Structure 1
Amino acid sequence: MLDTEILSNYKYILNEWRQKGRLQLSEREERLISDLMIDGYHAWYSFYKTLMSSIKVKVSINGKENTLSVGQAINLRADPNAEVRKASHEALENVWKEKEGLFAQILNHIAGFRLQVYKTNGVENILEEPLLNNRIKAETLDIMWGAVDKHKNAFTEYLNGKAEILGEAKLNSYHFWAPITNSDQHIDYDKAVKFVTSHLSQFGPELASFISNAFEKGWVESENRPNKSAVPFCIGFPQTGESRVYMTYSGTIKDLLTLTHELGHAFHNHAMKDVDSINKQYPMSLAETASTFLEMIVLDAAIDQATTKKDKLLLLDEKLKRSVMNFMNINARFLFEKKFYEERKQGFVSTTRLNTLMKESMDIGYNGSLGHIPVHSWVWTPHFYITKSPFYNFPYTFGYLLSLSIYAKAKEKGRGFEKDYLAFLRDSGSMSTEELVMKHLGEDITSESFWEKGMELCMNDVKEFIAVQASVRTPLQNMK
């Protein structure tokens, strides 16, 4: 039947459904488990979000005690004042110590329920579901992490360089997001639109037309107003082929990059507007590809146009934070989750053990380059509690490295690459990731050399960062 003309276009997705069906119980049993999940499994995640939103954090800033939400306290990690960053970190740690027993119960019950479902369905490998959902092979994931581990020393060098700039022997975790220069640069929204349009338009005519159309028709809601959610997102409307971007723009380089990132998601939707509905659902491992790709174009353009060493170092730091998060932080999350699930099979994992697992994973993930390791990261990282998608971590690194390889191809081929790129996006919902990359990029992602191409681009950023840092030994605020 799959070889018939009417079904051949849906061969991959139908085979995928069949494969997933083999992991399920009878229809009656699946309905029963699904009903139990509402007030059991998914209810724990709902409780986690409710509990987290109810927590108030008291942080002392300039001698005055402030009562903040968890999100507000976490955002202080990027405050220019080192004392504020430290105070926020310590206040949060105190809260986590007080509440860790509650969060340990939630995490253990979510994992316990998931493992029972797997056991009932005959699933032994805890990575089977996330690998299937992300349409990648286990060997591909292992090879990707192998390439990351092989080149971590470069990013340790960057972290040590940042520690030196901040006057520390080892970079404390709560200073990672710290701005390394005092930048008073404000980018007006109109200026940001012109900058983004100008540089993305150089990629190809389709993207140029799409970006201009998105801004002209008001598809971006960016107003900075009180009581507005800080979470940016992009949503597509399949019947019209249009998208809408929602964000809060306040004039920073991060806002400019967020704008670009969400437009990347919108362009992915645009590329798939004529694709049959059944083939439009692409996996998380590819969801961040288009957005990160456009981000790289704009960020590199900003670095190239930086007029002072101070601005260049600021932008390189912004870029390298992304690499560290993908190669080190997410690696630590992945290691923690694997260890946790293996231990959860034997019974309840205590708070002491969870803290130990987190510390061990962070030490490995960051190559021992961080001080004051946040052992309670397992508490405030929501990805560990998401019940609809287990191992909500490695797809980020996968998509990031994949977009780097696409970016390298784009720079090599120039504007002529846009046609291949559009074909890549259109097929992103109808084949495995290995097949997709081989078909449109001619690359084998089960080979370590593929992943090393992306790693090399990031390592070059480290070299440039260290070179700029070494060229100045005066205080950064005086840098020209």
Structure 2
Amino acid sequence: MKQPLSLTWELESIFPGGSSSPQFEEFLKQLEADIETLRQQVAASVSPADSESTKSLDSVIELLQSCSGRLIQASEFAGCLGAQNQQDKGAVRLSSKVTGLRAGFEGISSQFDNVLRQTSDAVWTEWMARPEIAPLAFVLSESRDLAREKMSPELESLALELAVDGYHGWSEHYETIVGSIQIPYEDEEGTKQLSAGQAFNKLDDEDPKVRKAMFRKWEEAWGGAADYCADTLNHLAGFRLKLYKGRGWEDVLKEPLDINRMSHTTLDVMWDVITKSKPALVSYLQRKAKLLGMDALAWVDVEAPVGKSSGKIPYDQAAKDIVTQFRKFSPKLADFAEHAFDNNWIEVEDRPAKRPGGFCVSFPESKESRIFMTYSGTPSNVSTLAHELGHAYHSFLLDDQPLFNQNYAMNVAETASTFAEVIVSDAQVKAAADPEEKLALLEAKIQNSVAFFMNIHARFLFETRFYEKRKEGLVNAEELSALMEEAQKEAFCGVLSEYHPHFWASKLHFYITDVPFYNFPYTVGYMFSTGLYRLALEQGASFADKYDNLLRDTGVMTLEDLVSKHLGVDLAEPDFWQGAVDLIVADINEFLAMTN
């Protein structure tokens, strides 16, 4: 692996010229023309009367996949431009253009789904059995079943068109709010204004005075924007609820569960196992407070480091460590990570105007990924880097699949990413020779459990209750903060001395329109990946191939069927989930023993 590594990613090979790229403009122009061709083809399509007539729809399905892949390519490129510089007005314009194209495409897809819906069961069975179509049978059947639960194609198309300036427009408005956030920070050079992303990193500072002072300013800044955020969140939820009502959907979790291809039973069983395990986490948080000289931890102290790490971890060292640990599990995974580093797929520079948070996007046309984050040298940053590389590896394994079969659900996406995290964090803990270093690494690992079992549980509780309350009318900023704090107290079992009432305003995930309930799939992925890691420890080197095969099937199976096929496990039973929790509790017990 070449070093020193670049701190900024390379987007020129995707489309040269950034938001002024002539090639990207031409790409969008051709895509728009092809979407119009697709519209005409779908408008002329009728439900096949027999197996022979299904062949006339092969070209439509092919063009659907082609347009879908290019829309993803365009959307991710525009998103990367906006993330690297929130002041890039050209990126905002391009994002709006792509959103419009996507709405048109989704309307056409909805019309094609109606063709699928109206096909008789007998013809459908023969159609899906054709060798050319059989690989797509799961996705097409899924679309057909969902179409039967939606409004008429005309109403669905209208809803998608209205969503451009309504639903998605409010989501983009939130990005504008985030871009306007400026938080003052004093250091030896004087007072400077930090972006939301830069200020967020200060909340993890080792110095309690720094993080507590920043938390006050953070809460104050988001409190100042709370009314705008409340308007945005209310209108996003209102649009979604009206759409659900039109479709006859009562349960707000129906869509996110369908998207994640999992049952309500599986989700309930998982949360039940987690809730029963929380006393161990409470013991950990209480011990941590004692170690930090506090009666109880505040929200901003939950991720404060314990033990003495070797200081800030340089980016090059983090990359080297990640590749080393990946190689112990799978040379294929390690080689892929090296390729990502060497080819500048990763943006980590700490600078103003960047979007907060981290993400990974994949470009199906280029068969490449890009990773975005702001790296400041903390163990948490290293975990984020490994996490996003896990996402990229998952996409890499599906590069040779039909485009429709590359659309895996968020929960299994989070499985691949979190599994990569566990590989790195567990290996680091085991390799640490110095007790203080070992304690710091173990504690950082346990922090992930707190995040997935408590923080994300709080988000899930908040969002579920918010949607129920929103059915009755608008929910103002003060009520949203009260709901948020109530959910945090419940999820953290009341163990903290102070909470984060404006978390609902500061967290991007509540404002994402592509995927509703952008919370519980993280915990599903974490629990699933931990369960997989337990099996990897038991089965040794042979598990790497089984893991890859499981990931390759994530786009063509429900979660329950995926696990049954590759692991022989029933997720409606608590055993698999309990096995994952047992590994986590073992880490907590080791931490308690080391600090006794």
TM-score (norm 1): 0.91
| Bigger Cα displacement from structure 2, 5-14 vs 440-449 | 5-14
* Residues 48 and 252 (structure 1), Cα distance of their counterparts in 2 relative to 1, 3 Å cut: closer
In structure 2, the residue matched to 1:87 is: 213
Name the SS of the counterpart of 2:203 in structure 1.
helix
Equivalent in the alignment of 1:475: none
Task: Using the TM superposition, give the Cα deviation of residue 186 of structure 1 relative to its aligned residue in structure 2, in angstroms.
Answer: 4.5
Does residue 458 (structure 1) correspond to residue 591 (structure 2)? The answer is no
| 1:363 counterpart = 2:450 | no
Are 1:103 and 2:229 an aligned pair?
yes
Aligned 1:429-444 pairs, distance under 5 A:
429-444=555-570
Q: Which residue of 1 aligns with 2:551?
A: 425
> 1:379 — aligned with what?
505
More off after superposition, 423-432 vs 8-17: 8-17
Deviates more, 1:47-56 or 1:174-183: 174-183
Q: Secondary structure at the match of 2:184?
A: strand
Query: Which residue is equivalent to 1:476?
Result: none
2:260 counterpart of 1:134: yes
Would you say the 8 A contact 1:224–1:248 is kept in 2? yes
Letter matched to residue 38 of structure 1: V
Sequence identity (%)? 41
The offset of 1:266, in angstroms, is 2.4
SS at match of 1:342: helix
- Is 1:70 aligned to residue 193 of structure 2? no
Residue by residue over 1:382-411, the C-alpha shift from the partner in whole angstroms, topping out at 9 and shown as x without a partner, is 212222221110000000100001111111
Is 1:218 matched with 2:323?
Answer: no
- The aligned residue for residue 117 of structure 1 is 243
AA of the residue aligned to 1:39: D
Give, in angstroms, the shift of residue 264 of structure 1: 1.7
Moved more, 355-364 or 123-132: 355-364
The separation in 1 between residues aligned to 2:336 and 2:133, in whole angstroms, is 32
Residues of 2 paired with 1:238 and 1:71: CA distance?
A: 28
1:34-433 maps to which residues of 2 (within 5 A)?
Answer: 34-59=160-185, 66-214=192-340, 218=343, 220-221=345-346, 224=349, 226=351, 229=354, 231-238=357-364, 241-245=367-371, 251-433=377-559
Secondary structure of 2:193's aligned partner: strand
Could you say if the C-alpha distance between residues 228 and 423 of structure 1 is closer, same or farther in structure 2, counting changes exceeding 3 Å? farther
Q: CA RMSD in A?
A: 2.4
In 2, the alpha carbon distance for the partners of 1:238 and 1:122 equals 35
CA distance in 2, matches of 1:184, 1:445: 40
Q: Alpha-carbon deviation of 1:95?
A: 3.0
Q: Which moves more between the two structures, 446-455 or 350-359?
A: 350-359
2:139 maps to 1:18: no
Instruction: Please name the residue that 2:8 is paired with.
Output: none
Partners in 2 of 1:249 and 1:74 — Cα distance? 12
Deviates most, 405-414 or 45-54: 45-54
Query: Once the 2 structures are TM-superposed, how far is the Cα of residue 245 of structure 1 from its aligned partner?
Result: 4.3
Following superposition, the deviation at residue 457 of structure 1 comes to 0.8
Alpha-carbon distance change, 223 to 169 in structure 1, aligned in 2, over 3 angstroms: closer
The amino acid across from 2:460 in the alignment is: F
Contact 2:560 2:570 in 1 (8 A): yes
Contact 2:340 2:346 in 1 (8 A): no
Unaligned runs of 5+ in 1: 471-480
* 2:245 maps to amino acid: K
Distance 1:468 1:396 in 2: 29
- Report deviation, 1:100: 2.5
- What is the letter of the counterpart of residue 185 of structure 1? G
Between the aligned partners of 2:568 and 2:499, the Cα distance in structure 1 is 41
For 1:40 and 1:246, locate their aligned partners in 2 and report how far apart those are by CA, in whole Å. 27
Greater relative CO (CA pairs within 8 A, separation 6+): 1
Q: CA deviation at 1:78?
A: 1.1
Tell me: CA distance 1:252–1:78, structure 2 relative to 1, closer, same or farther (3 Å): closer
How far off its partner does 1:211 sit?
A: 4.2
Query: Does the aligned pair in 2 maintain the 1:219–1:245 contact within 8 Å?
Result: no
Q: Within 2, Cα distance between the matches of 1:106 and 1:388? A: 15
Residues in 2 aligned to 1:353 and 1:419: alpha-carbon distance in whole angstroms: 50
Shift, 1:294, TM fit: 1.8
**Kept in 1: contact 2:350–2:375 (CA 8 A):** no
Q: 1:243 to 1:344 in 2, by over 3 A?
A: closer
CA separation of 1:231 and 1:107: change in aligned 2, threshold 3 A: closer
Deviations 1:119-150 (A, max 9, x none): 11111111111011010011111111111111
Give, in angstroms, the shift of residue 177 of structure 1: 2.2
What's the counterpart of residue 28 of structure 2?
none
C-alpha displacement of 1:210: 3.6
1:255-292 C-alpha deviation (Å, 9 max, x unpaired): 43333223222221232222222211100011121121
Q: SS state of the match for residue 202, structure 1? A: helix
CA drift of 1:429 comes to: 0.2
DSSP 3-state at the match of 2:324: helix
Deviations 1:23-80 (Å, cap 9, x if unpaired)? 3222222222122112222221221221222122335668965433333333221112
8 Å contact 1:219–1:243 — kept in the other structure?
no
CA distance in 2, matches of 1:351, 1:396: 26
Distance in 1 between residues matched to 2:371 and 2:170, nearest whole Å: 30
